[in-house]
Amino acid sequence: MQQIWQAERIFDGQTLHEGRALLTEDGKISGLLAANDVPSGAEVVSLGSGVLCPGFIDLQVNGGGGALLGQGDPYDAIVTICAAHARLGTLGLLPTLITSDAATMHAVLDAGRHAVQTQVPGFLGLHLEGPFLDIKRKGAHDPDLIRGMTEGDLAALIAGARDLPTLMITLAPEAVSLDQIAALVAAGIVVSLGHSNTSEAQARAAIVAGASCVTHLFNAMSPLAHREPGLVGTALDSVVWAGIIPDGVHVAPAAFRLALRAKPGRMFAVSDAMAVAGTDMSVFTLNDRQILRSDGRLVLADGTLAGADISLPQALKWMVDTAGIALPDALAMMTSIPAQVIERPERGRMEPGGAANLVHLDDQFAVQGVWRAGQPVG
């Protein structure tokens, strides 16, 4: 069945259109038409004001719907997290495991394999944030679990990459060898630098070895200084991708704008969401430590930030209304750009033949409707 989707504005992954409509057939994108060009027999879906865009893609999602990856049954957590964020407009994501022991990491990799076999909707792979980090930049990660990478770890990660559509790993270059980075990349793993106190020279060596991304730019990394640019300066002065948390808590608007000017088309938004996403929970636990939710922040008892309390639509509103980012640029950071990072170009765009994964936002960027392959998401 053909459907014609009419909205005030349509973002196709690159361009924001007015006076256009989206044509789909049997849950797949056919293309954009003039707004009043309705094929005979097509069902008209009239959405009114706001913007229709591709489903969001989030490459750093620790939890949601009350579940946190690494606590409880990991497969159940993956299913719950993907479902919770789908209702918030994120139709593709990488459930993210925060620094854990080896047994938990292996269990999560196995759960990811099971998620592939059972075709969990929205599951694009896994992101392992640690444990191969620098304790000096641990953030909310448990320092007792941070360690260097063993040959056993390397073998397990390479094996996991063979079975998952995407495996992303955040590591500190000082916690691994350049040969290990090269081996991970050769296996198809996306290596992202983060939670690191690295020097510019060491960061650039890791990039030459194959690291292609940095995790939550500015946070938990060596800062930019005029004589030692650190990981922030290296990220801004290289071609690596950069994830960033647009919540007004992790990064100030001016720093956000400066970073985007330095990396147009190379920076993408992440929610860094925790278990509370999509719920009214006020507290949860992370590695047996209590995390408090208050005034848009998630913090340990000592005030250390522990993830973020945003959804991607909330991040979009902050980027546009507070940071002053142009709407097409902000939307691309949540759709087509993260799709490029994980080499899934069919995602995050309205390309003919692609699945009709769609989100309708009102003028205040609140979610009004979500569809996966043309079917509504409850």
Residues assigned a catalytic role: 272
Residues 6+ apart with CB under 8 A from 173: 181, 193, 196, 198, 202, 203, 205, 206, 211
- Report d(CA 77, CA 82) in Å as an integer: 8
**Torsion over CA: 292, 297, 300, 302 (sign):** negative
- State the angle between helix axes of 151-163 and 102-117 in degrees (0 to 180), rounded to the nearest 10: 10
What is the DSSP pairing of strand 16-18 with strand 2-11?
Answer: antiparallel
* Of 299, 305, 271, 295, residue with least CA distance to 284: 299
Count Cβ atoms within 10 A of the Cβ of residue 48 and give its class: 0-12 exposed, 13-18 middle, 19 or more buried: exposed
Count Cβ atoms within 10 A of the Cβ of residue 43 and give its class: 0-12 exposed, 13-18 middle, 19 or more buried: exposed
* Of 336, 340, 337, residue with least CA distance to 351: 336
